Amino acid sequence: MITYKLKFKWTTSKGRFTYGWNICSLYVDGKKVGSVNGGNYDMKGSVFGTWVQSQFKDDLINLDKEYNALKFFDKETKKYAYSKISTDIYTLPSIDGACGFESVSRIVEDLGYKITFIDDDKNHQIYVLEFKNSVDIEYEKENKQNKYNFGLLGLKVPNQ
């Protein structure tokens, strides 16, 4: 099963020109994958959207529904013209996470993932993102229990 542990960490900048600004960092499976700073927008949604955009670029192209936070640009020119749905010309996905964490979550759920809130405290929020179409099936054969995962391609592979 494909699973990601997402940890959002809130800190305050001590930088020379950004002293006192809020910082929202995203850690995926313990590795820092991005951060944003400033305020007056959904920082958690913005850093999450940037990661989803880079992690699931090929999957985003296959979506056939319009989203407020998702646009597709021309890969060649990268100009201001865009499409709300991927076309032959507009194939470069861009997610505006500042629209909100929930907007990005809807996109991720339509890609086949389930996002689950786990815990939070003063400076952290933890979520688990797991692929919900991967099916684990247990069955009994010759008095043994074998567990198989049919995965993305429908192939029967024993879990070890």
The average confidence (pLDDT) of the chain is: 83
Measured distance between the N- and C-terminal CA atoms of the chain, rounded to whole angstroms: 12
Structural domain total, the chain = 1
Asked if the structure places residue 103 within a domain, the reply is yes
Considering 28-32, 62-66, 67-71, the range whose residues carry the highest mean pLDDT is: 28-32
Helix (H) or strand (E) holding 32: strand 31-38
Using an 8 Å Cβ cutoff, are 84 and 73 in contact? no
Whether 108 shows a pLDDT value over 60: the answer reads yes
State how beta strands 70-74 and 82-83 pair.
antiparallel
Task: Report how far residue 4's alpha carbon sits from residue 90's, in angstroms, rounded to the nearest whole number.
Answer: 29
Asked if the structure places residue 146 within a domain, the reply is no
pLDDT at 133: 61
pLDDT tens column, 122-148? 999 999 999 976 444 333 333 334 444
Using an 8 Å Cβ cutoff, are 135 and 150 in contact? yes
Question: Can you read off the two tokens belonging to residue 23?
Answer: 């910082």
Asked if the structure places residue 153 within a domain, the reply is no
Asked if the structure places residue 102 within a domain, the reply is yes
pLDDT at 73: 86
Task: Report how far residue 15's alpha carbon sits from residue 127's, in angstroms, rounded to the nearest whole number.
Answer: 29
Asked if the structure places residue 7 within a domain, the reply is yes
Asked if the structure places residue 28 within a domain, the reply is yes
Whether 13 shows a pLDDT value over 90: the answer reads yes
Question: Can you read off the two tokens belonging to residue 93?
Answer: 């996905």
Report the alpha-carbon angle 39-24-57, nearest 5.
105
Whether 116 shows a pLDDT value over 70: the answer reads yes
Asked if the structure places residue 48 within a domain, the reply is yes
Question: Can you read off the two tokens belonging to residue 12?
Answer: 């305050």
Q: Residue 13 burial by CB count (10 A; 0-12/13-18/19+): exposed, middle or buried?
A: middle
pLDDT tens column, 43-66? 999 999 999 999 999 999 999 899
pLDDT tens column, 117-126? 999 999 999 9
Helix (H) or strand (E) holding 91: strand 90-95
Q: What is the pTM of this model?
A: 0.78
Asked if the structure places residue 140 within a domain, the reply is no
- Assign 84 a pLDDT band (cuts: 50, 70, 90): confident
Q: In terms of Cα–Cα distance, which of 1, 9, 2, 69 is closest to 37?
A: 9
- The residue range of the domain holding 74 is 3-135
pLDDT at 159: 47
